[in-house]
Structure 1
Amino acid sequence: MARVVVIGATGHVGTYLVPRLVEAGHQVIAVSRGQARPYADNRAWAAVEHRQMDRDAMERDGSFGAAIRAIGADIVIDMICFTLDSAKQIVEALSGHVAHFLHTGTIWTHGYPTVVPTPEDAPKRPFGEYGTQKAAIETYLLEQARTRAFPATLIHPGHIVGPGWLPLNPAGHFNAAVFTTLARGETLALPNFGLETVHHVHADDVAQMFMGAIANWRASTGEAFHAVSAGAVTLRGYAESISRWFGHEPKLTFAPFDAWARTQDPKDAEASWEHIARSPNCSIDKARRLLGYAPRYTSLQAVEEALTWLIADGQVTR
């Protein structure tokens, strides 16, 4: 089995991926700042070697890539690379020293969709700093794979969901009050006609895809894959389903976005615009075909599991 480094190992996906790697027999080295714990307990973590590194500080002095290379891993999984400069530093350090490099991207590399479900090779028009930087990283890594045989695979998650944190809600932002409104059978206001889409994925399904990419090295290197549920949901459909999950018939109102935004907290309205302006609806056909990807959770099932935790934690009340 392989020696695997996971950078940003204690986050959403790492919570599920690291135990999967250990259970598959890999030797796992978890790299993080040491300021967070996994969202779920698993005895597999007792077999993990932990290395504490502050990536930002080490990249500023140019030592991070060399420190990762010195671990001597066969596989490096990078969960927390957000700029092209950061990607270049680690690729330059690992070129010729790693058998497989897996990068966590985002479906926001697409910008707005022009065809749905959107395949990975659709023309990309990213906007905003996050999506633009992630798209630049994708272009760079795929070019490195093509021209220098750098063994890169890109995994692009949707809106990651799981117990332990707030999921993207039916209004397109992260305020738990939206779920409380639905839990109490009260009226929820949505922007426009509620027909924009969001595309969730359970964190364990993202972990599943990383495992599939590792197991199918020849098919996955030099490629990018969407890691999402089998189907996106509209804001309206999402709200209706969660209302009924709480035992209520939906009570929804609609207003043009600008009018609706004036009734919301400005930060919530901004977050909603960021999500619905992109309205992702991504295909998983390529991942199914090449990696055997089969998500265990629908978007709604993933959210319902997270909601069960939020209710128990007191963040959503009836």
Structure 2
Amino acid sequence: MRIYVLGATGHIGSHLVPRLVRSGHEVVAASRGTRGPYLDDPAWAEAKRVVLDRDASDAEGTTAAQVLAERPDAVVDLVCFTPESATLLVEGLRGDVGLLAHCGSIWSHGLSTSLPMSEDDPKEPFGEYGIGKQAIEELLLAESASGGLPSTVIHPGHISGAGWPVINPVGNVDPRVWSTIARGEELVVPGDASATMHHVHADDVAQIFELALQRPEASAGEAFHAVSPRALTVRGFAAAAYGWWGHEPRLRSVPWADFQAGVGEEHATTSWEHLHRSQVCSTAKVSERLGYAPGWTSEAAAREAVAWLAAHDEAYDLPPLG
């Protein structure tokens, strides 16, 4: 197939474009052109690189036209965040493209009522991001059901991997958390440390997009979780991380108000966003219908990210992992 990837040099696209090239597809890799992919891969030389600024093209109403100019058989949309943006693309592609694969988020669920969550559970998202992603899912699945543009929605968990900060055991990206753990010092955690986070390696998300493109008859009109085999609790994640540097875990649980006072409002808000949801997502549907076989556990995905930060980012000031 000829596949157009919107947002090609981001977390997912950096892994997806090489996967698609190696599978024999023609790939048009669209991005704003302000940065390269997170990982070097010789497969990028075989992809056609084009510049597309999604915000600008949506404002001009030209996104779909620019995509169709490349005559794709399928489109992967990794940079759509509002129903308005999704509508523009769907209406422009309808009748000319065989499949639209959209990147959603597990935050489209909101709070869980049973665990693990399935894709078809009732959803009550909160926050602008989660509400927007759920609205897009409803729009795309209704489009497929009505016989319009065949669409699938893939909902990643907390994307991890080399090249960018990873959500840490207290649910934020504060570099001090990793420094505290690396030194074997006491880590202050909010609540009782039982809240969950469901990470996923970016390459496993890319794997699911590739599978969805390969099996449109199974993916069109469906939503799928893209997560690791198992979620981690704050306590379990922290214990694993201490072990990377050969330490026993040292955790001190405090009320949320005390945690906020200690880490500051920005980091505390990020922690609350992740830990309040306390999500655990099932991979049964994506495994059974598309053949998803995760290559990374939550811990392994996070460990790779932290190892990269230790080697490349001076802001983290971390010793090499054991």
TM-score category (smaller protein): over 0.9
Shift of residue 59, structure 1, vs aligned partner: 1.0
Cα deviation per residue 1:68-113 (whole Å; 9 max; x = unaligned)?
1222100100000000000000000000000111000000000011
Q: Secondary structure at the match of 1:226?
A: strand
Shift of residue 290, structure 1, vs aligned partner: 0.2
Q: Secondary structure at the match of 1:148?
A: coil
- Give the residue type in structure 1 aligned to 2:101: L
**In 1, are the aligned partners of 2:144 and 2:150 still within 8 Å (CA)?**
yes
1:64 aligns with 2:63: yes
* In 2, Cα distance between equivalents of 1:196 and 1:261: 16
More deviation in 260-269 or 288-297?
Answer: 260-269
Q: Secondary structure at the match of 1:57?
A: helix
Shift of residue 284, structure 1, vs aligned partner: 0.4
- Aligned match of 1:135: 134
Q: How does 1:101-250 map to 2 (within 5 A)?
A: 101-250=100-249
Q: Secondary structure at the match of 1:253?
A: strand
Shift of residue 62, structure 1, vs aligned partner: 1.0
Q: TM (normalized to structure 1)? A: 0.98
* In 2, Cα distance between equivalents of 1:26 and 1:259: 53
Shift of residue 149, structure 1, vs aligned partner: 3.6
Extract structure 1 runs of 4+ deviating beyond 4 A: none
- Aligned match of 2:42: 43
Gaps of 5+ in 1: none
- Aligned match of 1:80: 79
Shift of residue 316, structure 1, vs aligned partner: 4.1
* In 2, Cα distance between equivalents of 1:312 and 1:191: 29
Q: What do you get for the CA RMSD once the two structures are aligned? A: 0.9
- Aligned match of 2:304: 305
**In 1, are the aligned partners of 2:95 and 2:148 still within 8 Å (CA)?**
no
Q: Secondary structure at the match of 1:237?
A: helix
Q: TM (normalized to structure 2)? A: 0.97
Shift of residue 148, structure 1, vs aligned partner: 2.5
1:317 aligns with 2:318: yes
* In 2, Cα distance between equivalents of 1:72 and 1:85: 23
* In 2, Cα distance between equivalents of 1:237 and 1:153: 33
**In 1, are the aligned partners of 2:54 and 2:79 still within 8 Å (CA)?**
no
* In 1, Cα distance between equivalents of 2:256 and 2:194: 12
Shift of residue 285, structure 1, vs aligned partner: 0.2
**In 1, are the aligned partners of 2:218 and 2:290 still within 8 Å (CA)?**
yes
- Give the residue type in structure 2 aligned to 1:70: A
* In 1, Cα distance between equivalents of 2:63 and 2:215: 28
**In 2, are the aligned partners of 1:179 and 1:316 still within 8 Å (CA)?**
no
Q: Secondary structure at the match of 1:144?
A: helix
Cα deviation per residue 1:276-309 (whole Å; 9 max; x = unaligned)?
1111100000001000001010000111111111
Number of matched pairs: 317
Shift of residue 19, structure 1, vs aligned partner: 0.2
- Give the residue type in structure 1 aligned to 2:65: A
Shift of residue 131, structure 1, vs aligned partner: 0.4
* In 2, Cα distance between equivalents of 1:244 and 1:282: 26
* In 1, Cα distance between equivalents of 2:54 and 2:159: 23
* In 1, Cα distance between equivalents of 2:30 and 2:285: 30
**In 1, are the aligned partners of 2:104 and 2:133 still within 8 Å (CA)?**
yes
- Give the residue type in structure 2 aligned to 1:201: V
- Give the residue type in structure 2 aligned to 1:227: A
